[in-house]
Structure 1
Amino acid sequence: MATARTANPAPMAGLNKPANGQLRGQTKTGGQQSELLSNVQHPSAHKRTSIPQSSGGIKFGDDWKKCLELPPKDTRVKTSDVTSTKGNEFEDYCLKRELLMGIFEMGWEKPSPVQEESIPIALSGRDILARAKNGTGKSGAYLIPLLERIDLKKDHIQAMVMVPTRELALQMSQISIQLSKHLGGVKIMATTGGTNLRDDIMRLDETVHVVIATPGRILDLIKKGVAKVDKTQMMVMDEADKLLSQDFVVLMENIISFMPKDRQILLYSATFPISVQKFMSKHMQKPYEINLMEELTLKGITQYYAYVTERQKVHCLNTLFSRLQINQSIIFCNSTQRVELLAKKITQLGYSCFYIHAKMMQEYRNRVFHDFRNGLCRNLVCTDLFTRGIDIQAVNVVINFDFPKNAETYLHRIGRSGRFGHLGLAINLITSDDRYNLKNIEDQLVTDIKPIPSSIDKSLYVAEFHSVDAEDGEEKA
């Protein structure tokens, strides 16, 4: 079985299926695919700062902000989901200077609405029940107060972040490490199923302050007496609706039983099913409720459908690739088998393509996620594994090759574009069997999914970056 190399993308002549989910097609010379991915701004492309881990070199009275190496300023248009703020600054929350340095070097200039609501309440130690849309800054809303409250003098696990998928755990640990890099020794560990248990046991033999985990693995480590959480004062549940679904709720109840009675729980979700309400009444003490979800669908995401037969789907996808200006796209299928079949078809059409699903080995999933996030491929085909919280700023187009069965899945899928208030495009390939689902989802989300026009206005989904000309200093779009 052939395995495509990740370092040097090469054309794929045949249909041999690589085990690692990285299919590479010959890059077409026409249409959007000919553009170089190096033009896309990726979080990992930012230069590393030269400031030491500790801020001991910065003396009182120094202008510490001058020492920061900030990422390029993001001048793209943003929607009111992230701009309708009270005008607060991160400095208003009396955070440690070292944490502020990490925040600004992430490119986070001002708190978003969910961060404004969450940070001061979380710092006070109160439970939080927050409903906010995907891509509006939820991770910063809980990671900033969590890291602020870590006491480096204590060598036990002080906080846990629970997430439903391995990819989200890795993403959250990367953000946490970046935010805390000037704090001088905060030890952060990600632990998920599908990885070597012995490595986790050895890691927990040393000091760990923050654990970011999926429920099954951390519960296993707790029961083995390796992960001691009897002094853990804070637990965050991100994508709480999924964590409290039938898949995970028993595990979550078990985990909480090992924690102290006076722990703080921060619960974040875009949707609030009955399971969340039951959990709140049982385990949370007068939580501060935040609801930034007056309307469900994300502002800035334009939604279209194309009415096709099953046999026309691949042809329609090929047409979209040739006509749209795609930075990066995520294409959803409803089964792992269809993911792999479609990835082969896209490669046959001559486009580079990765795929990812839950039945792949974890090391391959990690590689695909890492390489796609770093811009090594423009298109990713996946199952709903990839709908939860995954934040890849360059994704501006989501295509539902298979239309989802319910509104919640649809909402999470299209939320992979339009991250942090930026513009995005969602295109749904609809067969006759999907008509009723389309109508039901429109009604439940109170949204309008329109027929796809012959030409789509690029201003609806293509970001316009503003740059300053080096010679004359004039700002240009």
Structure 2
Amino acid sequence: MEERDMENELLDYDKEEEPQAPQESTPATPKKDIEGSYFLRSIVDCGFEHPSEVQHECIPQAILGMNVLCQAKSRMGKTAVFVLATLQQIEPINRQVMVLVMCHTRELAFWISKEYERFSKYTSSVKLSVFFGGFSIKKDEEVLKNCPHVVVGTPGHILVSGPNRSFSQKNAKHFVLDECDKMLKHLPALRDPGGSLWHQRASHHFCV
């Protein structure tokens, strides 16, 4: 009798389900990583497989926020160094210039702007404007009212627009001088270490 009761108890026994560990939610991909994948896609589209020596040396330092003085022969990818480094670091904020690039000719300004467009074509978050001779200052001021994140241009137009408060340079985090030897040779404002341009609040200065 006792044995039969024990069998019934065993038959009536409901095995308790083991508690399941809560499933961990997949963390969202950081925005910085998403932007980086867009830039990588652009790099692949351009046919780049390996960085040049100057790119290998300078891009990591620039991304770490160091001031960079870059020197290399023509067609070694110096422009891509500061374009990729600044695009990788900026976090676009409405109505704030984040990158200011100055060069000495309109042809160079046009070329640099095309490089920015080429490497940022898969992201719509970065706004770019280019300024050089041949256009009226008033037209430049109209464009600057939308306050692009990246400003590329010749000193004549940029230095005129700055004092007129068409755009504010105070939030620029990256200040780039392309072909800086020629820029410093012809522009007293850039040769003066105490001048207003060298007192940019930029956290990163880039001279090529």
Residue in structure 1 matched with residue 10 of structure 2 by the alignment: none
Residue in structure 2 matched with residue 188 of structure 1 by the alignment: 128
Q: Structure 2 length as normaliser, TM-score?
A: 0.78
Work out whether 1:97 is the aligned partner of 2:37.
Answer: yes
Q: Does the residue aligned with 1:131 lie in a helix, a strand or coil? A: coil
Q: How many positions carry a matched residue from both structures?
A: 175
Looking at structure 1, the residues matched to 58 and 35 of structure 2 have their Cα atoms a distance apart, in angstroms, of: 14
Q: How does 1:379-398 map to 2 (within 5 A)?
A: none
Looking at structure 1, the residues matched to 126 and 140 of structure 2 have their Cα atoms a distance apart, in angstroms, of: 17
Counterpart of 1:125 in structure 2: which amino acid?
G
Looking at structure 2, the residues matched to 218 and 251 of structure 1 have their Cα atoms a distance apart, in angstroms, of: 13
Cα deviation digits, residues 168-214 of structure 1 (max 9, x gap): 00011011111101122211111112312122101111130001111
**Which has the greater radius of gyration?**
2
Aligned pair partner of 1:236 in 165, 171, 176: 176
Cα deviation digits, residues 212-250 of structure 1 (max 9, x gap): 1111110000010112101111111111100110x2132
CA contact (8 A) 1:160 1:236 kept: yes
Looking at structure 2, the residues matched to 255 and 190 of structure 1 have their Cα atoms a distance apart, in angstroms, of: 21
Looking at structure 2, the residues matched to 98 and 177 of structure 1 have their Cα atoms a distance apart, in angstroms, of: 12
CA 1:216/1:258 → structure 2, altered by over 3 Å: closer, same or farther? farther
Work out whether 1:115 is the aligned partner of 2:76.
Answer: no
Aligned pair partner of 2:87 in 132, 147, 172: 147
CA contact (8 A) 1:216 1:251 kept: no
Cα deviation digits, residues 281-319 of structure 1 (max 9, x gap): xxxxxxxxxxxxxxxxxxxxxxxxxxxxxxxxxxxxxxx
Residue in structure 2 matched with residue 354 of structure 1 by the alignment: none
Cα deviation digits, residues 397-427 of structure 1 (max 9, x gap): xxxxxxxxxxxxxxxxxxxxxxxxxxxxxxx
CA 1:224/1:153 → structure 2, altered by over 3 Å: closer, same or farther? closer
Q: How does 1:457-476 map to 2 (within 5 A)?
A: none
Gaps of 5+ in 1: 1-59, 61-92, 269-477
Residue in structure 1 matched with residue 65 of structure 2 by the alignment: 125
1:127 shift after superposition:
0.3
Looking at structure 1, the residues matched to 164 and 56 of structure 2 have their Cα atoms a distance apart, in angstroms, of: 39
Q: Does the residue aligned with 1:223 lie in a helix, a strand or coil? A: coil
Q: Structure 1 length as normaliser, TM-score?
A: 0.35
Looking at structure 2, the residues matched to 137 and 95 of structure 1 have their Cα atoms a distance apart, in angstroms, of: 21
Looking at structure 2, the residues matched to 252 and 194 of structure 1 have their Cα atoms a distance apart, in angstroms, of: 26
CA 1:95/1:184 → structure 2, altered by over 3 Å: closer, same or farther? closer
Looking at structure 1, the residues matched to 159 and 111 of structure 2 have their Cα atoms a distance apart, in angstroms, of: 20
More helix by share: 2
CA 1:217/1:258 → structure 2, altered by over 3 Å: closer, same or farther? farther
Looking at structure 1, the residues matched to 133 and 190 of structure 2 have their Cα atoms a distance apart, in angstroms, of: 13
CA 1:230/1:223 → structure 2, altered by over 3 Å: closer, same or farther? same
CA 1:94/1:113 → structure 2, altered by over 3 Å: closer, same or farther? farther
1:259 shift after superposition:
1.7
Identity %: 29
Q: How does 1:303-452 map to 2 (within 5 A)?
A: none
More strand by share: 1
CA contact (8 A) 1:218 1:227 kept: no
1:151 shift after superposition:
0.9
